[in-house]
Amino acid sequence: EIYYHGEKVCANVIVSNNSRKAVKNIKVMVVQHCEVTMVNNQFSRFVAEMETREGCPITPGASLTKSFYLVPQAASNRDRLGIALDGHLKEDDVNLASSTLV
């Protein structure tokens, strides 16, 4: 799927607890994966994340289906190193780097 700047990213989470322990919380993350071809390097950084106990605990044998919405923004990642951006960090209209489909 293609997402544009400022759009919500939907994460559909399906948990089937087949263990003997209860699930106490759920963590959802949006990962920015960047490949730098000039130096033949790649890295991944979390650009949006949330942790919730909504729907928890999920007892052994139970299941949960839930949708979470996250909005990755450059403003909330200003202090993080290794985030790919469109524009300069000092500018106010800077965005997270756009995706390129190959």
- pLDDT at position 40 is 86
pTM of structure: 0.77
Identify whether 63 is part of a domain: yes
Q: Domain of 83?
A: 9-96
Q: Where are the alpha helices (DSSP H) in 41-98?
A: none
Write the DSSP symbol of residue 75.
G
9 versus 75: which is more confidently predicted? 9
Identify whether 64 is part of a domain: yes
Identify whether 3 is part of a domain: no
Q: Is a pLDDT exceeding 50 seen at residue 102? A: no
Q: Is a pLDDT exceeding 70 seen at residue 85? A: yes
CATH no. for residue 31? 2.60.40.640
Identify whether 1 is part of a domain: no
Q: Classify the C-alpha dihedral 46-70-26-61 as positive or negative.
A: negative
Q: Is a pLDDT exceeding 80 seen at residue 93? A: no
Identify whether 101 is part of a domain: no
Confidence of residue 89 (pLDDT cuts 50, 70, 90): low
Q: Is a pLDDT exceeding 70 seen at residue 72? A: yes
Q: Please state the rounded mean pLDDT for residues 15-21.
A: 97
Identify whether 16 is part of a domain: yes
Identify whether 86 is part of a domain: yes
Q: Which of 7-11, 47-51, 77-81 has the lowest mean pLDDT?
A: 77-81
Q: Please state the rounded mean pLDDT for residues 35-50.
A: 88
Phi, psi of 77 (to 5 degrees): -120, 20
Identify whether 61 is part of a domain: yes
Q: Per the structure, how many domains does the chain have?
A: 1
